[in-house]
């Protein structure tokens, strides 16, 4: 019996750490060396199938990393079930920014949000400024998921999203979960097959 879940996921992190590239790799398995800076927020979806045939559909909001749009971020992580906070392993300042984002999420976002810290550009390890241990230790302290990825080579990209899918609470009834993920539309009720339509009379002849 397969089940489908739907979750809202938001990407946060400093400008130029590779958030959009990470999403492009995950959703379309493509990479683009010269990507323009995201001005706005892109909406994409991708479905992950787990071993038990459970499918998890991510509604991904890829946000702009530039500082001047920081005030708009809360609108995007509002109601998010999970967040991927990205830093660039070749820029130690980007980890600092990531820490700020994580602090903000812990303070402002839904308390049950699943946060993954993601060190991107692992293909450039020759220019590494952020040691694996440092980020890993921080992630453990804050009980975050952590991984290093390379959007360019694809290394670790699908793994981190699958890991998030597994960590999400897949026990909740699918309809309720999907509703929560959809924010405004979540107010609409799920299915109750036992519900009888009002005024139903089973003795009535069966012709419409």
Partner 1 sequence: MVGLEDSIKPLLRPSDEIKFILECVLLPPSASNDNTAPDASGIKNYSTLRHQRIVAIITHKEGGDNWEEGSVFVLKRKLFSSSSSMSNELEIHRVFPVYGDFTMTMAQLPQDSNDTQTFKLPRTRFKLTINPGQTLIGNEPVDLATDDVSALKDVLTECRRLKELSEVNSPTQTYSWLASYANNNNNIFIPSPFPDLRNSVQPLYSRLSPASPGTTGDDLNDIVLIRDEWARSRARNQCRRGRVRLNIRLGTFNVNGKMPTQDLAAWVRGSTKNAPNVASIQHSLLPPVSEISPLSLGEVVKDPYDLREAEGASPSLVSSESPAIYESVPVPLVQPEVPTVSFGKTSESIAPKPDPDILVFGFEELDLSTEALLYSTSTAREDAWTVAIFAALGEKAQMYEKLASKQLVGMLIIIIVQKSLKACFSHVMTSSVGAGIMGLMGNKGGTAIRLAFTPPASSLEDLDSALGETASTDEHHHGIEHPGPTILTFVVSHLAAFDDMVSKRNADFHELSKRLIFDSSNLALTSDNSQRNSVGSASSQSIQDTNSSMLGGMAPSQNLVSVPEKFGVFESDILFWMGDLNYRINLPDADVRALLSSESWKNKLEILKHFDQLKTSIREKKAFEIFLEYDIHHLPTYRFGGGISTDSLGYDTKRKPAWTDRILYAFSPLTAKLEPSSYTGHGEITMSDHRPISADFSVDVDLFDKNQLHATAANLFRQVQGMEERAKAKLSQTSIDMGDILCAQIQILTYLRLTGNLVRCTHEKFLTNTNFLFPVPPWLSASHTTGLLLPNEHTEITLLAFIDNKIASRFNLGPRDLNCTLIIHTLMGKDHFISIKAEYQYTCFANKLSRLTHLPGPIRAMKSHNDLLGEGKAINAPREIVRLVNWLMSCAHPTEDLFMVEADPDIVDDIREHLDTGNEFPYSHDTRERSIPIAFGAALMELLESLPEYIIPKELHGRCVAVEDRDEAFEVLDEFPPESVNVWISVTAFLHYIVQNSSSRAEEIGMYFHRSSSVGTLMVFLQRLHSHPSSLVFFATTCYLRQMTRRIFALLWVIRSLLCISFTKSTIRPH
Binding site for partner 1 (CB under 8 A): 1-4, 10, 39-43, 55, 59, 61, 64, 68-69, 71-72, 75-80, 174-175, 178-179, 182-186, 188-191, 193, 197, 199-202, 204, 206-208
**Closer to partner 1 by Cβ: residue 75 or 93:** 75
Q: What angle do CA 162, 30, 60 make, to 5 degrees?
A: 45
**Closer to partner 1 by Cβ: residue 126 or 208:** 208
Residues 6+ apart with CB under 8 A from 69: 39, 63
**Closer to partner 1 by Cβ: residue 128 or 182:** 182
Residues 6+ apart with CB under 8 A from 174: 3, 4, 5, 6
**What minimum distance in Å lies between the beta carbon of 143 and partner 1?**
25
**Closer to partner 1 by Cβ: residue 76 or 146:** 76
| Closest-CA residue to 160 (of 60, 69, 92) | 60
**What minimum distance in Å lies between the beta carbon of 182 and partner 1?**
5
Which three-class secondary structure state does DSSP give residue 75?
A: helix
């Amino acid at each position: 019996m397969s089940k489908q879940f739907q979750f809202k996921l938001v990407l946060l992190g400093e400008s130029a750490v590779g958030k959009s590239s990470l999403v492009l790799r995950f959703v379309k398995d493509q990479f683009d060396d010269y990507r323009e800076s995201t001005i706005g927020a892109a909406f994409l979806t991708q479905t992950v199938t787990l071993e038990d045939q459970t499918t998890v559909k991510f509604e991904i909001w890829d946000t702009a990393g530039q500082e001047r749009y920081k005030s708009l971020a809360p609108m995007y992580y509002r109601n998010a079930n999970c967040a991927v906070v990205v830093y660039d392993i070749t820029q130690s300042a980007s980890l600092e920014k990531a820490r700020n984002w994580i602090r903000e999420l812990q303070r402002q976002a839904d308390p049950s949000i699943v946060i993954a810290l993601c060190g991107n550009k692992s293909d450039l390890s020759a220019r590494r400024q952020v040691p694996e241990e440092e980020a890993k230790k921080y992630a453990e302290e804050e009980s975050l998921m952590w991984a290093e990825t390379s959007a360019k080579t694809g290394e670790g990209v699908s793994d981190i999203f699958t890991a998030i899918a597994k960590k999400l609470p897949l026990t909740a009834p699918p309809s309720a979960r999907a509703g929560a993920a959809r924010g405004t539309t979540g107010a609409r009720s799920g299915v109750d097959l036992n519900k009888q339509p009002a005024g139903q009379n089973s003795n009535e002849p069966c012709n419409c």
